Structure 1
Amino acid sequence: MNNFAKIIEMQRGDIKFAYVQNDEINYLGLFDQFLAEEGHHEILDPSDKIERYTYLINHNNTKFIFKIDGGVEHRLERKIIAKITGDFYFNLIYKLAKMSLDKCDVAYELYLVAFDQKTKRHYMIFNFIEGRSLKWEEMKTYGNQIKNCVEKLHSYNLVSNDIHGGNFILTPDGKIKAIDLTNSGFIWLTKANDAIELRDRFNIKIKVPFLAMAFKEFAHGFKRLSRKLRGKED
């Protein structure tokens, strides 16, 4: 059984780890096993981004998602923000662990994060959520659940920052869970992105800080004006 109260951090060679202590599953061993068999697992949702892969793995009749993110951030402002806020995935495992401890079941669980300091690759092991992604028209149908889901994520300083049906899973028992979350950057501002997308695309209203909304509304308006002046479509 998972003990989200205890996350172990360790360094092994060039790789830094943070993983959830588990009485039944050795996530460090699962990581080693995957690397030894890399290329022999089912790949899910191939990304058009270089060095970003998501695999489905099966361990003792339990499904897991194994993700590799080899993307290196080249934008200076993102590098500065990362220095201030810390490693995205290592922050994420602690926030999702806190949600699990609180029995806030609106997102996935993250069991292991590893960063190879030599190759600059991140590795993650998530739980596999049974179900299917929502269709665009279903976003309004499940509007109350989505509103509740996003508001709970925000209470843990987690955001989607990309609101669409593909980032919400409808489970067989009718629950909505969010996937592909972010916790990097200035979260109080990014929450406003979620609020604007929910409002403008699906007429779902959530509360976020007034100043964040005002800043993002101005930024979005300026961007639209800039694109219009350059003759580009929205």
Structure 2
Amino acid sequence: MLHKTKYNNLTLCFKESRVPYNEILEDFVHLRLPIRKVFRNKDNTKVMLVQHQEQLYILKVFKPNGKKIERVLKSFFRKDYFLSLIQLNDELWSRGMRFQNDVYLLAQRKQGPYTDLYIMLNEYIPGTVLNEFDVIPEVIKQDLVHNMALLHQHKLISGDAHKGNFILSEHGLRIIDLSGKKFTRRRVAEDRLALESRFNIKEIERDFSYYLLKAKFHLRQKIKSGKHVLAKMFAF
């Protein structure tokens, strides 16, 4: 179950729990939250491992930059991606689906319908990230296909199915960093194509959207290759 409240100029949405997620946010805002590791440190995105009362969490700070007018206009018509993610993820957990990382808290700084700052507190999953494997065992590949199919069955997508977003934990294979974007056949096809190209998995479901997306990909590759040949021909 999710709760909503306000904290200063932030709108909070967080899971019902004995863990005070809103207090963790307050510690972060007041620079009292120990940072154990920084995974990403870019102008618009910060991802870090933080600690609160001996427990580790993943904290993500996202500040959209560029195309502000476009983002403001879209905010009137599109559901908020991050809000959708925490809601859909909470529904999955309530049904006993635990193969994806949990999202504990979402804090947003809003300007009308437009959000110019997101802070997310996520579950930290210890284990082996799949990009640490030289060769991924077939049994793990089978789990990949199974978990992605479950994800799609419950109207969620990965949106970025690369090896760094899958962790082999002591409780099995887990998916992290899901997308809250609208569930569409095209995005499902993108997930399946990623499994095929990045993990060399052939046993995936193929539908019209998959073949259409793959045809577009090959066409773009041919156009790109043709431009490269022309550039070489006319280079002086």
Percent identical pairs in the alignment equals 18
Structure 1 residues 136 and 190: alpha-carbon distance in aligned structure 2, compared to 1, 3 A threshold: farther
Paired position in structure 2 for 1:164: 162
Match of 1:94 among 87, 98, 118: 87
The range that moved more, 37-46 or 141-150, is 37-46
Structure 1 residues 78 and 211: alpha-carbon distance in aligned structure 2, compared to 1, 3 A threshold: farther
Q: Offset at 1:199?
A: 2.1
Identify unmatched segments of 5+ residues in structure 2: 230-236
Q: How does 1:193-208 map to 2 (within 5 A)?
A: 193-201=190-198, 202-207=200-205
CA RMSD, 1 decimal: 2.6
Letter in 2 for 1:132: T
The range that moved more, 62-71 or 30-39, is 30-39
The one-character-per-residue Cα deviations of 1:16-72 (angstroms, maximum 9, x if unpaired) are: 2111121x211111111111116851233224x423111222222221111111133
Paired position in structure 1 for 2:128: 132
Paired position in structure 2 for 1:122: 118
1:216 aligns with 2:209: no
1:181 aligns with 2:178: yes
Match of 2:39 among 23, 40, 45: 45
1:10 aligns with 2:5: yes
Letter in 1 for 2:152: H
Structure 1 residues 200 and 99: alpha-carbon distance in aligned structure 2, compared to 1, 3 A threshold: same
Letter in 2 for 1:211: F
Structure 1 residues 191 and 83: alpha-carbon distance in aligned structure 2, compared to 1, 3 A threshold: farther
Letter in 2 for 1:112: L
**Higher Cα Rg: structure 1 or 2?**
2
Structure 1 residues 78 and 199: alpha-carbon distance in aligned structure 2, compared to 1, 3 A threshold: farther
- Other structure's SS at 1:180 match: coil
Contact persistence 1:136–1:165 (CA under 8 A)? no
Q: Offset at 1:140?
A: 4.3
Structure 1 residues 77 and 198: alpha-carbon distance in aligned structure 2, compared to 1, 3 A threshold: farther
Contact persistence 1:50–1:71 (CA under 8 A)? no
Structure 1 residues 83 and 43: alpha-carbon distance in aligned structure 2, compared to 1, 3 A threshold: farther
- CA distance in 2 between counterparts of 1:45 and 1:125 reads 14
- CA distance in 1 between counterparts of 2:220 and 2:73 reads 23
Q: Offset at 1:148?
A: 0.9
Identify unmatched segments of 5+ residues in structure 1: 1-5
Aligned length: 223
Paired position in structure 1 for 2:16: 21
